[in-house]
Amino acid sequence: MTETGLWISDESDLSPIAPAQRAALLHWRSARVASGEVPCRNAIDPPLALPAVLPVMIMFEIDRPDGPESPTRGYRYRLIGTELVARAGRDLTGLLLHEVFEPEAIEADLELYWELEQRRCPYFGSRISLIPKRQAFETYRRLLLPLRATETDRIDRIWCVLDFNDM
């Protein structure tokens, strides 16, 4: 898998971002209490605010098996859109990323997700990925948005919106 991407600030040019992803980013920004902060996960409501992104979104829960401050973490598919289920050939809801893919296939993702937690800002990338079930490569763009727990400042969700339109 290869990916090129950029970290998004409030001043970033949003023109390369697909319209549905841009709508998700603007929804994420509007849910913040202050500029530069990460919104609480309960302030994000894609089904009501952005029903068009539901088929192409993933909500990852950051699973910390050794407690809230644990450096050990996994990324659990909390929600996965219907188009993504169809493309994957199965529903991944409830599974951890490492239960679905081999370690070498997700190494870059794990690093990116950890960096998203540290930077606390959105990420936009273009990617080529191997889809083993279909034995084919797929090109898509993804927007990753960190969300924090309501009761703490800890990032505990990653909202991902994909775009498969011509790049």
Asked if 28 and 21 touch (Cβ cutoff 8 Å), the reply is no
The CA distance from 47 to 34, in Å, is 24
Architecture of domain 2-8+20-163: 2-Layer Sandwich (3.30)
pLDDT beyond 60 at 149 = yes
pLDDT beyond 60 at 167 = no
Q: Which of 76, 30, 82 is nearest to 51 (CA)?
A: 82
pTM: 0.90
Domain boundary assignment for the chain? 2-8+20-163
The tens digit of pLDDT for each residue in 23-59 reads 999 999 999 988 888 999 999 988 888 999 999 999 9
Angstrom CA distances, 117 to 37, 73, 81, 147, 155, stand at: 12, 11, 23, 9, 6
Residue-level pLDDT at 93: 95
